[in-house]
Structure 1
Amino acid sequence: MNDKEIQKATDNKQIKPFGEGHMLWVPPGYEVVTEAPAPAETQTHLWDYIWLLWNRRWMVALVFLLCAGAATLKMLRATPIYEAGAKLQIERDAPKIVAFEGNDTALSSNNGAGFVETQIQILQSRTLARQVVEQLNLFAGRKAAVAEGPDVLDAFGVKDYVKSFVEGVADPIPTEGSAEDRQMQYRIAAFLASLGIARIKDTGIVYVSYRSPDPQQCADVANALCDAYIRWNYQTKSESYAYAQKWVDQNLYEAKAKLEKSEEDLYKYAGSEQVLVLADNMEGLTKNYEATRQELAIAERALREREFELKALEENKTPEPLIEETRLKGLREQLAAVNMKYDQALLTFGTEMNEVKVLKTERDHLAALITEEEKNVATLRQQQRDRALAEARLAYERAVSSRDSLKQHADAQQKQLVDLQQRLVQYNILKREVEVNRSIYNSLLESSRQVGVTSSLKAGNVAVVERAERPLAPKLPNKPRGIALGAFLGLFLGVGLVFFLEYMDQSVKTTEEVQRLTQLAPLGMVPHVGPAKRGAGAVAPERLTEAQPTSIMAESIRSLRTALQYSRPGRAPQTLLVTSSLPGEGKTTVATNLAIAYAQRGLKSILIDADLQKPGIHKIFPESSCEVGLTEILTGTKTTHVNVKTSIPNLSVLTSGSRPPNPADLLDSRVMRDLLALLSEKFDRIIIDSAPVLHLAAPTVLMPLVDGVVLVAQPGKTPRGALRRLSDKLRTLGLHEKVLGVVMNNARGRFAGEGRGYGYGYEYGYGYGYGAKGGNGLALPGNGNGKGNGRHNGNGNGKVTANVNSTSPSR
């Protein structure tokens, strides 16, 4: 591109200045990104787990082989265990021993739903176990077990897989008692440990099994236990019938005595109280009492009527008018007529007329008659009232007397009836007692006969459906299953151990994680290079870029150099400080190879060892070691020329020199600032290897003096907390903006492969020219479709070309 084309592209904003003496070509539609992108939200992918397992595959394989081998050895060395079983049919049998009318009582308590389960517990009882052990003389001669106590199962030869069948059936092994008793308890415990009792689902059949190294013993023990259970069942029934017979006979005797006593009491009471004679007259007495009650009701009604009449007379109420009252009424009517005539005559004729005088005389006469008649009527009325009152009182007294007489008679009859009823009630009580005692006696008598008949039959409810036979093949161990289970367990434990170690690992794994913790841009990733990749000479990794310029590590260092070239807008950083959070993360390796890469680019570079506590540059470049170091220069003890040449063109090295007592004070001095200013005039690039930031104060002292800081972290080693504390410390000191980014060093396995999209795919189809100044520029390799050295196939979005317009080394 000539000057006119450059000017035209500049006017169209297609060429932008970037750094001193550099012009960066930007195609249309593209922008230059000068700041670190925000960290992307990472999501766990299936490949992450695959790479995690692949990275620790030897651990998984080791655990798998150990478990599978142990299981195989266990199966091969295990003693064959045989199992034989018999089948018992157990039916619910609850015969009626004592039966009353309306109430059935059985002597068996196993009428519930758990009858078969109860019989299983009986089969597992120590009583039957003792019988079988003594009958077959099982586990005899194991005297050592008596002293060993809790290890008796092993002493008897019962292996661990037999113990799993105990499940709480056997009681704890005793530690007290005589030696014979303890030995018998141990033998019973060992027997129960090998015994298996199970109910066949939805049936009344129980499967009795026994396991032992002796196949014949398995069958003998199972059959012996079935026989012992049948004998126990038969004996239990016999004892039950005998007890029932005894109980019935005893209660029958008591019931007979009670019956006789109740009958005697009934007869005595009936004779002494004449209940039977009175009972015959009960109906007549009842009828008489009812008739008396009716007469009493009539008398009470008549008494109320007499009482009403008496009250009416006492209140001056005459029931009938007198005849004299009728005559008196006629006289009053005549007097009224005469008065009317007299009044008319008086008005017509006056008082002197004879007619008037005659009428007056007649009126006076009638008035005298009326007065006399009224006196007669009053006298007669009083006489009539007195006579009526006397008659009414007499009738009332008669009614009261009649009522009282009937009431006394009714009360006497009622008392007689009540007394008779009480006698009958007591009689009926004694009679019912006789009937109940007779019923009990008859029932017990019948039950006594039934018990005798039933006990003579002695029918059992247990039968052997299938007897145990000698097994032909061992039951345990199941070798294929055991080996497969061991292999599966080993694989499970191995994978679980890998994920557990990964969970416990607090180190960073990916660049996204580092970016999220520090808010710093990733500058690149330096892969791990083992001795096999370094060649026959076993070159140290600190100078691998010099010894093997075409290696993957050298290429990653050059990618880091390119990233640093464009890490700051306007000007590439000249003075770089390489540090880390903790020791051992490879900051010296990165600093050394970066200095070599700058020198190979043709830039005059110097590498300064500022790690005054633990220097290492003098070991990497022994040819450059001298008595004059950074310490001597800063303290002014020696003024020898400091530009120490190396075997690498364009590269000088300044070692640390002697160890000072106060490294931070020396590095924070004016002499250090003057030294860096002097070196900036003489060199194109100054690379400073510093101490770790979290442990020492020297790096934070140097950071304000440099153009940029490169942090080194190692995936799988650098703790997340260390990076977090480092970021907080830099922000607190205001030095966070000085950091250009983070380099992931010594990335192994999934950290350097495709784990989350990081890999190195390069096409080595071009030549390398190192140390030549000038030229028309260098085409930088992008993320093209090259053949990757790992599992990464990068599909880049384009190619970036840097054109150097000057013939002098670029800063």
Structure 2
Amino acid sequence: MNNKTEPIDNAGDNSQAIMSAGETHLPSTRVYETMPPVEEEINLRDYLDVILRRRWVIIITLLVTFSLVAVFTFSSTPLFLAQGTLKASPRVASITNFKGIAQGMDESFMQSKEFIATQVKLLQNEGLLIKLIKKMDLQDNVLFAGKKDNDTGSGILGGVKEAFASLKNMIRPRLDSDPANKMNRKVQENITLDNNLGKIKNALTITPVRGTQLINISFQNPHAGLAADIVNNLMKEFLQVNAEQKLAAFHSSGVFLDKQVNASKIKLEKSEKELNAYARRTGIISLNSKLNLIMGQLEAVNEALAQAVTARISKESLYLQTKKNGGENLPQVLNNPLLQNLKQQYSELRSQYEVLSTVFKDQYPKVKKLKAQMQDLRNRYAQEQQQILDSIRLAYEEALEKEKRLTKKAESQKKLAIELNSRATQYKILRREVTTNREVYSSLLSRSKEIEASAGSDNGNIMIVSMARPPLYPYKPKVARNLLLGIVLGSFAGVGLAFVLEYLDDTIKNPDEFPQRYHIPVLGLIPFRDAGKTDDKFDEIALTFYNEPKAPLSEAIRTAMVAINLSTAATPPKTVLITSVLPNAGKSTMASNLSLSLLASSAKVLLIDTDLRKPGLHKIFGRKDNSIGLSNFLAGTADIDEVIMKTEFPNLFFIPSGPIPPSPAELLASSTMRAFIAAAAREYDYLILDAPPFHGFAEILILSNMVDGVILTTQLNRTPRDGVEYFRKAVTNVGGRILGTLVNKVPTGKSGSRYYGGYKYYKYYSYDYEYGRDA
């Protein structure tokens, strides 16, 4: 053992200097904080990773769904589908061109889409279906009323249905078990008929063929022959009912039209008598010529009156303007040449007057003369203006008088026209009534004769196109389609469930999450041990770098060590704390293998077990006894030389944790611990501290600001995201530096091919390696 370690007291004096020197290191987390946020891109490989990770969930869901579909398919009773076709033409071919009075609708409705829809509804009518049931005697038909219909099943489903039926009978006894509660025969027949009607409706499908006049009628039943018989009998029964309805319509229409013809004849005779009586009473032969003359005169008077009113309104407006505002602003005044000349002369005289009045008084002869001339001009101007205003007033009065005369004449002409028009109107009303009654009578008489001729000549507008034949193969269940649907649904359900579970799982799935989400660089990806070595002991895995220098794990440790040395800007970190968010993440394994990797450069390394709660490093180095160690030194019960121990590896020294103290956090927070780390950093090239897990313990926050950097050991699909975020914030808040993370136990198979494509190249480029020197 090397005893060159400085005393604790001297180390304490230099602790501040070592901490100050550490300030020059620029940890990667600080660098990431200054970078812009990385936008997450949709990567198809991420979805593929989810599918591979949850492949058993998808496979089990697929198998369960497929099994259920298969059981349902193979336990269902086979159903046969028989189909027939009807043609429903909206046109009625008739030698008399009779347009559908019997149907109670006109040709425009018959040619519309509603006609086909109406026939579909009539085919589904309960009355028609009841006639079919009674005609075929389906109530007593064993094949139709048996258990093997479309409402029952065989196999597993049939057994389940029978079990439910038995349970129902146990809970609710049959009503006819008690003679007092027996229903009469009529009620029982109605119940049976309703049941059979429900079966018919459930199995019957009426579908119009789009763009044609065809209607497909199909029926499902476990018996092919019975399905075809039901379809054929339904079509025949529908045609028979349709023919009966037509005959009934012809008869009722004939009776109705006979009554209407008689009533119309009486009404026509009455209206003709009234017209003749009115013509004799008023002496009217023809009023058209005289009425046209009077109406023409009235129109001319009204037109002249309208022009007079327009002229009067215009002149009245001008007259009212002169009364309100005078005549100064009227166009007749402003545009009058004489008035404008007088105004000009007046302006010139006034200018001369203003010039002389500044020098002479009003009694001066020349001034006096000017004033007289100005007064004369004003008088002439007023006279001319008054003449214009008088002419405007006279024009208004003449227009008003003309309007009154025309109004009186129009009223007189209007009264004469109204009187003649009233007499002519009454005459026209009576004559129009006669004409209308005659047309109605002729139309009804003609239609009555058409019905008589059409009653025996209508050949129908609904016909059977094709009869139903017994199908050779079942229609349901469609085995291939159902099984394929089961596979598709199972696949979608499995993938959906996988992504739901993935969403609910809040652990790290991808190493890229560390730099993107938390700004923590990934220092290395440590592969999971090969399948043949998954049973290795803990100490053997922790010494893999020594036992198997060419192993993939060893190569990953070398790569991680290079990343750690380059993680700070100035010099490589000398004191490194290794921890994890949760226990069993492999932090002790990482600490031991990283310590062994540093020996390749002949560095002097001190490995310290600071996990004072559940230590494990002493087992790696073959020490079963952990009775003396770091806790003894911090408590003052042992000297530093007693706790630092040599190992079998040159230049690698080890301090075990020692006995577990009652308060680990208080010991690690002591000044003795800080001084010891500072002194040891001068004595050794590297200090590796194996710390307890961060979750729930304060030791990491205490030790993080005593070292150059902290390395977080994580595992995919195990380390929680919120734990990493809490760790980053907590360590940063106390001034600690996060160098990065070592992602441990990364899968190397197909599921991990994204991170490790295989390790054959390691064997090809491997080199002999011995600790402390190159081979």
TM-score, scaled to structure 2:
0.64
Aligned to 1:221: 230
**SS of the residue 1:456 aligns to:** coil
Do the aligned residues in 1 keep the contact of 2:692 with 2:700 (CA within 8 Å)? yes
Aligned to 2:377: none
Displacement after TM superposition at 1:436 (Å): 2.8
Amino acid at match of 1:126: E
1:491 aligns with 2:487: no
The RMSD of aligned alpha carbons is 4.6
Query: Where do 1:706-725 residues align within 5 Å?
Result: 706-725=707-726
Contact 2:579 2:694 in 1 (8 A): yes
- Name which of 79, 82, 92 aligns with 2:80: 82
2: CA distance between counterparts of 1:65 and 1:422?
A: 95
Alignment partner of 1:687: what SS? strand
Compared with structure 1, are the counterparts of its residues 82 and 159 closer, same or farther at alpha carbon in structure 2 (3 Å cutoff)? farther
Q: What are the superposed Cα offsets for residues 135-193 of structure 1, whole Å, 9 maximum, x if unpaired?
A: 44558799xx9xxxxxx974589999xxxxxxxxxxxxxxxx97765654444333223
* Contact 1:83–1:471 (Cα < 8 Å) also in 2: yes
**1:464 positional shift:** 0.4
Q: Give the AA of the match of 2:735.
A: G
Matched, 1:667 2:637: no
- Give the distance between the partners of 1:248 and 1:491, measured in 2 at CA: 71
User: Which residue of structure 1 lines up, in the alignment, with residue 576 of structure 2?
Assistant: 576
Aligned-partner SS, 2:207: strand
Structure 1 residue 131, shift from structure 2 partner: 3.1
Give the 3 Å change call, closer, same or farther, for CA 99–236 of structure 1 in structure 2.
closer
Distance 2:740 2:422 in 1: 118
Residue deviations 1:573-631 (CA, integer Å, cap 9, x gap): 44321013344433233223323444687655444332334444456566343223433
The answer to whether structure 1 residue 740 and structure 2 residue 739 are counterparts is yes
For the structure 1 residues 476 and 425, does the alpha-carbon distance in structure 2 shift closer, same or farther, using more than 3 Å as the test?
closer
Return the offset for 1:566: 5.0
Q: Distance in 2 between matches of 1:90 and 1:507?
A: 67
Q: Equivalent residue for 1:730?
A: 731
Could you say what secondary structure the match of 2:225 adopts?
A: helix
Residue aligning to 1:405: none
Q: Work out whether residues 520 and 741 of structure 2, in 8 Å CA contact, stay in contact via their aligned partners in 1.
A: yes
Equivalent residues in 2 for 1:106-505, closer than 5 Å: 106=106, 109-138=109-138, 154-155=151-152, 184-266=193-275, 269=278, 273=281, 278=283, 426=426, 429-505=429-505
SS of residue in 2 equivalent to 1:471: coil
Contact 1:200–1:207 (CA<8 Å) still a contact in 2?
yes
SS of the residue aligned with 1:517?
A: helix
**Offset at residue 507 of structure 1 (A):** 3.6
Map 1:558-569 → 2, pairs under 5 A: 558-565=558-565, 567-568=567-568
> Match for 2:665: what amino acid?
A
AA partner of residue 106 (structure 1): D
How far has the Cα of 1:216 moved from its partner?
0.9
**Is the CA contact 2:582–2:719 (under 8 Å) kept in the aligned structure 1?**
yes
Match of 1:513 in 2: 513
Please say which of residues 704-713 and 617-626 is displaced more in the overlay.
617-626
Conservation of the 8 A alpha-carbon contact between 1:602 and 1:770: no
2:529 paired residue number: 529
Indicate whether 1:643 and 2:644 are aligned: yes
1:97: Cα distance to partner? Answer: 6.6
Partner of 1:553: 553
1:403-441 Cα offsets, whole Å, 9 max, x none, are xxxxxxxx9xx99x9999976765554444334323322
Kept in 2: contact 1:579–1:587 (CA 8 A): yes
In structure 2, the partner of 1:794 is none
Matching of residues 772-787 of structure 1 within 5 Å: 773=772, 777-778=773-774
Q: Distance in 2 between matches of 1:614 and 1:594?
A: 20
Query: Does the aligned pair in 2 maintain the 1:578–1:587 contact within 8 Å?
Result: yes
CA distance in 2: counterparts of 1:732 and 1:227, whole angstroms: 91
8 Å contact 1:605–1:684 — kept in the other structure?
yes
Amino acid aligned to 2:75: R
User: Contact 1:84–1:215 (CA<8 Å) still a contact in 2?
Assistant: yes
Q: Which residue of 2 aligns with 1:387?
A: none
2:636 alignment partner AA: G
Aligned to 2:586: 586
Asked if the contact 1:623–1:646 (Cα under 8 Å) also holds between the matched residues in 2, the reply is no
Q: Give the secondary-structure state (helix, strand or coil) at the position aligned to 2:241.
A: helix
Deviations 1:369-402 (A, max 9, x none): xxxxxxxxxxxxxxxxxxxxxxxxxxxxxxxxxx
Q: Partner of 2:692: helix, strand, or coil?
A: coil
TM-score, scaled relative to structure 1: 0.62
For residues 617 and 552 of structure 1, what CA distance do their matches in structure 2 show? Answer: 22
CA contact (8 A) 2:599 2:652 kept: yes
Mapped to 2, the partners of 1:179 and 1:254 lie a distance apart of: 52
Residue 150 of structure 2 contacts residue 221 of structure 2 at CA under 8 Å; is this kept in 1? no
Structure 1 residues not aligned, in runs of 5+: 1-32, 146-151, 161-176, 294-410, 780-811
In structure 2, C-alpha distance between the alignment counterparts of 1:572 and 1:98, rounded to whole Å: 105
Residue type matched to 1:555 in 2? E
Whole-Å separation in 2 of the counterparts to 1:553 and 1:453:
106
* Distance of aligned partners of 1:768 and 1:625 in 2 relative to their CA distance in 1, 3 Å threshold: farther
Task: Answer yes or no: is the 8 Å Cα contact 2:748–2:757 preserved in 1.
Answer: no
Counterpart Cα distance in 2 of 1:464 and 1:755? 68
Secondary structure at the residue paired with 1:705?
A: coil
Partner Cα distance (1:126, 1:547) in 2: 89
Displacement of 1:107 = 8.6
CA distance in 1, matches of 2:625, 2:669: 24
Alpha-carbon spacing, 1:137–1:633, altered in 2? closer, same or farther (3 Å): farther
The answer to whether the Cα contact below 8 Å between 1:156 and 1:190 also exists between their aligned partners in 2 is: no
In 2, Cα distance between equivalents of 1:536 and 1:282: 129
How many percent of aligned residue pairs carry the same amino acid? 29
Gaps of 5+ in 2: 1-25, 158-185, 298-411
**Using the alignment, how far apart are the partners of 1:281 and 1:687 within structure 2?**
132
Quote the Cα distance in structure 1 between the aligned partners of 2:107 and 2:77. 48
Q: What is the alpha-carbon distance in structure 2 between the residues aligned to residue 540 and residue 418 of structure 1?
A: 128
Q: Does the C-alpha gap of structure 1 residues 752 and 528 become closer, same or farther in structure 2, counting only changes over 3 Å?
A: farther
Closer, same or farther in 2 for the Cα pair 1:749/1:418, shift >3 Å? closer
* Distance (Å, rounded) in 1 between the aligned partners of 2:498 and 2:686: 44
CA distance in 1 between partners of 2:751 and 2:599 (Å): 26
Q: What is aligned with 2:625?
A: 625
Are the counterparts in 1 of residues 518 and 728 from structure 2 also a CA contact under 8 Å?
yes
What letter corresponds to residue 706 of structure 1 in structure 2? Answer: V
Match of 2:90 among 89, 92, 102: 92
SS of the aligned residue for 2:717 comes to coil
1:763 deviates by 3.1
* Counterpart Cα distance in 2 of 1:700 and 1:44: 36
Q: Which has the higher helix share?
A: 2
Contact persistence 2:279–2:285 (CA under 8 A): no
The amino acid across from 1:259 in the alignment is: L
Question: Contact 1:139 / 1:187 at 8 angstroms: preserved in 2?
Answer: yes
Closer, same or farther: CA 755–486 of 1 in aligned 2, 3 Å: same
Residue type matched to 1:231 in 2? Q
Map residues 689-700 of structure 1 onto 2, 5 A cutoff: 689-693=690-694, 695-700=696-701
Cα distance 1:254–1:584, how it changes in 2: closer, same or farther (>3 A)? Answer: farther
Structure 1 residues 652 and 129, CA gap change in structure 2 (3 angstroms): farther
Q: In the TM superposition, what is the alpha-carbon distance from 1:500 to its structure 2 partner? A: 4.7
Structure 2 CA distance for partners of 1:680 and 1:499, relative to 1, 3 Å = same
Please report how far the alpha carbon of residue 51 of structure 1 lies from its aligned counterpart in structure 2 after TM superposition: 4.9
Check 1:432–1:751 CA distance in 2 against 1; reply closer, same or farther (3 A cut).
Answer: closer
Q: Return the index of the structure with the highest Cα Rg.
A: 1
Q: What is the deviation of 1:92? A: 0.3
TM superposition shift of 1:756: 5.8
Change (3 A) 1:611 1:269: same
